[in-house]
Amino acid sequence: MAVNFVRPIIPKLAKDPWAIQFDSQGHLKHLLTIEGLGPTWITRILDTAEGFMSVTDREIKKVPLLRGRTVVNLFFESSTRTRTTFELAAKRLSADVLNINLSTSATTKGESLLDTLRNIEAMQADMFVVRHDQSGAAHFIARHVAPHVSVLNAGDGWHAHPTQALLDAFTIRRIKGDFAPLRIAIVGDVRHSRVARSQIHAFNSLNVGELRVIGPRTLIPNDIEPLGVRVFHDMRTGLKDVDVIIMLRLQRERMESGLLPTEQEFYRLYGLTEEKLGWAKPDAIVMHPGPANRGVEIESRVADGPQSVILEQVSNGIGVRMAVMALCMSASTE
């Protein structure tokens, strides 16, 4: 029908919306989202991480890959775990690390995000690790940084948290091996979860057998199925034959905005107790991106139990983040 119809060319954007993650040679330059990485890059990152895990076990836990480079942790939203593991990963690669914590309120005092960025860029940073409370913030920063700077998304709004999904995939691969025969269930507040979105893309890229999300309708978006998941509203049917259970953190403010009546009711229906864990496969593993609300989405005995791999996730996070940093920095040096 279209005669001379031309798709819009948005300045500084290629046709593939995720192409911005790669440099002109096709190397990974920024890690903003799992989308567009495909199985090849995801596997390459996981394999590289496997190599770095031995560094972590050594007495001198350092390799000189990023010596003389500066990594800036730019956190507009508070975080302990993610920031610390990024910091450790950078230090084990021998980079200089600068932590900058800016609550979003500080930037609303007049300085725009772009101004903040320019100021830190002027300090000769080579890599930004960014966390921000708005979806798309990492893309925005990647689009506007100096050409030599790499951007790693450490969580933007409800959109993406790619290193978390990669470390989860890494943990699952180490324990379960191949993804094809696996059933994975993500439980809880999928609507507001950047972790869940990145996990969905990652596990589907790795050809997972079946991916499920479980939660009440208020916490599961209407249009989630096209992303490649099956929706369940009931734990008993949702957890049946599942190999991996991923519990999401439930924010307290969800009660105030009318998405849930009480924590108690959520715990009764969706909280992972020993009883509910019994509905999954006997060798199912339990994961949580942390920090866990014990007694809200997960029972302490499950979180600390034999099937829990929550602490392994944390230590694997360092190796995976080292891998991502090393791969992205190798793109920008070439």
Partner 1 sequence: MIQNPPNLGIDLDPVRHPDGCRPGIDCDTWRISGARVLDPASGLDQIADLYLAGGKIVGIGAEPAHFPSSAVNTISADGLWLIPGIIDGWARLREPGQEHKATIATETLAAVAGGITTLCMPPDTDPVLDTIAVARFIKRRAQLAGRARVVAIGAMTQGLKGELLAEMAELTEGGCVAITNAHYPLKDLRLLRRALEYAATFDIQVILQPLDPSLSKRGCAHEGVISTRLGLPGIPVSAETAPLAQLLAILPETGARIHINNVSSRAAVRLIEQAKEDGLPITASVSAHHLWLSEMDTDAFCGNAHVLPPLRSLRDRDALREGLANGVIDCVISDHQPHEPDAKLAPFPETEPGISGLETLLPLMLKLVDDGVLTLERALEALTRCPADLFGLTDSGRIEIGARADIALIDPDAFWTLDDSTLHSAGRDTPFFGWDFRHEIQATWVNGKQVFRRGSAP
What residues between 209 and 228 interact with partner 1 by CB under 8 A? Answer: 221-224, 226-227
Q: Which of 51, 58, 78, 114 binds partner 1 (CB under 8 A)?
A: 114
What is the nearest approach in angstroms of partner 1 to the Cβ of residue 202? Answer: 14
Query: What binding mask, one character per residue, do residues 119-148 give for partner 1 by CB under 8 A, x or -?
Result: -------------x-xxxx-xx---x----
Q: From the list 83, 173, 197, 249, which residue makes contact with partner 1 (rule: CB under 8 A)? A: 197
How would you label 31-64 residue by residue, b for 16+ Cβ within 10 Å and e otherwise? bbbbbbbeeebbeebbebbbebbebeeeeeeebe
For the stretch 51-54, contacts whose Cβ atoms lie closer than 8 Å and that sit 24 or more positions apart, written own/partner, are 51/323, 52/92, 52/318, 52/319, 52/322, 52/323, 52/326, 53/316, 53/319
Composition of the chain by helix, strand, coil, percent to 5: 40, 15, 45
Distance of CA 309 to the CA centre of its chain: 17
Cα 225 to its chain centre, rounded Å, is 20
Asked whether the CA dihedral 138, 143, 144, 147 is positive or negative, the reply is positive
Q: Kindly tell me which of 65 and 227 has the beta carbon lying closer to partner 1.
A: 227
- Shortest distance, position 184 Cβ to partner 1, whole Å: 19
User: Which of the 8 DSSP states describes residue 308?
Assistant: B
Q: How far is the CB of 224 from partner 1 (least distance, A)?
A: 6
Q: CB of 125: closest distance to partner 1 in angstroms?
A: 20
Consecutive H or E run containing 264: helix 263-270
- How many chain residues touch partner 1 (CB under 8 A)? 38
Site string for partner 1, 257-296 (x = CB under 8 A): ----------------------------------------
Residue 156 parent element (H or E):
strand 150-156
Please, which residue, 159 or 288, has the CB nearer to partner 1?
A: 159
| 75 is a contact residue toward partner 1 (CB under 8 A) | no
Residues of this chain that interact with partner 1 (CB under 8 A) are 1-6, 8-11, 13, 17-18, 20, 112-114, 132, 134-137, 139-140, 144, 156-160, 194, 197, 221-224, 226-227
